[in-house]
Structure formats: structure tokens, C-alpha cells
Amino acid sequence: MGGRNTYEYIRLNLPGAVPSITSVDRSITKAGGKIVEDEFRYDALSDFQISNNYQLAICSEDCTGVIQKDPVHLSTKIRNRLLSQSASMFIGNGKISVDVLFDLIKNQSKLIHGLVKTDVYPKDRQNFSSCAKISTDDVLSALNNASDSYATQVYLRLLRSIILAYIEQSTSIIDRIYHSWITVFICRLWWTWLQLTDVEEISTEY
């Protein structure tokens, strides 16, 4: 139930107890089996259970795209991607950058945006309050006057809509629906842009 990383951890700490993931994958392939994310195979599962006399089937929430992720965990992952030093994100001609927030803290009064450096770079990478603070209406409003911040604004609005749609308890039903669809449309448009963009050209430019 712990997923691939847990399995590998147990295998490394109990030598010879369980086969390697490569061996398991090879066995599945030889048996003619296949595992495709988001694809339901009820008949195959039923036949497998009957042939092996299994009574239960267990699915890990991290091993399939069918089961929705915990929204708090999703929010922290989006914030952590913003802090990543190993990957760059772009929307159109704009770069999504945490530097925009640091410039905001440096050049504008805290009374305007309410941020401090530890809100942007929390010690605990799973700190949800940081996600809420960097995507407040005050921060987004302050970024309207910051140069080269459009892509970062869109990214933070995506984070803000996820919080309002799936986490914030005071959000009304109509607003919850609105922000749910805002999240969907931003992601779809971004994905479409990525499919039409020459990644090598962006890499060369930046």
C-alpha cells in the first residue's frame, strides 16, 4: 500500500526477502500483463482473483491517476515546484519565478502584501500555511505592479483557486465550482501551449 518507494525501501533493508522491481516488471510482462494508469480492467482483475483465490484487492492512492490527490498535498507540491532549482517553468514568454516574490518583499512594504521571506521559503516543505500566504489577494494585487510577473501571477492564481475550491471551508458552493473550473482551464490551456511549443527553443533562449 505504500507504493514503489516503500517497496524498494523494504527490499533494500531485507535482502532476498522480495524480488526487485525490475524482476517484478519482467514477470508481469512475461505473463502478458500490463498496468496502464487511469485504465480500469475489472474483468482481468476478477479473473486474476478467482484463479488465485484472492478475496481482496488493494489500490494505493499514489499509484493511479484515478483517485484524486489530497488537495493540501497538491498545494504544497505546486509551491515546492515554484521553489525548485532544478526545473524552470514558463507560460508564454514569461518565466515563473520565486524571485518575483522576493523582489516584492524587498521593494514594497509588508503592509501591502503581508509576506516575509519564511513565507516564501518555509523550513518545512509540507507547510500549507505558506501556500495560502503567497497566493493571497493582497499578494496577487501587489504583483500587478511588478515587472515580468505575469507568468508567476497565473501560477499563483492557479494555487489560489485550488485552495478556494478544495480546501477553504468558507468558500460558497458557487465560488467552489467557479474556482474548480478556473483550475481546470488554466491547466488545460497551459498543457495545450506546452504541446505547441518548441521546448528546445525555450531552453536555448533561457
User: Does the structure show a pLDDT above 60 at 63?
Assistant: no
Does pTM top 0.85 for this prediction?
no
Domain ranges in the chain are 4-52, 71-205
Is the CB of residue 140 less than 8 Å from the CB of residue 112? no
Q: What is the pLDDT of residues 7-46, one digit of tens each?
A: 787 888 888 778 888 888 787 777 666 666 667 777 877 8
Task: Please state, rounded to an integer, the average pLDDT across all residues of the chain.
Answer: 84
Least confident of 24-28, 46-50, 51-55: 24-28
Q: Which of the two residues, 58 and 129, has the higher pLDDT score?
A: 129
How confident is the model at residue 20, as a pLDDT? 84
Amino acid letter, 138: D
The pLDDT-based confidence of 151 (bands split at 50, 70, 90) is very high
Measured CA to CA, the distance from residue 106 to residue 33 in angstroms comes to 56
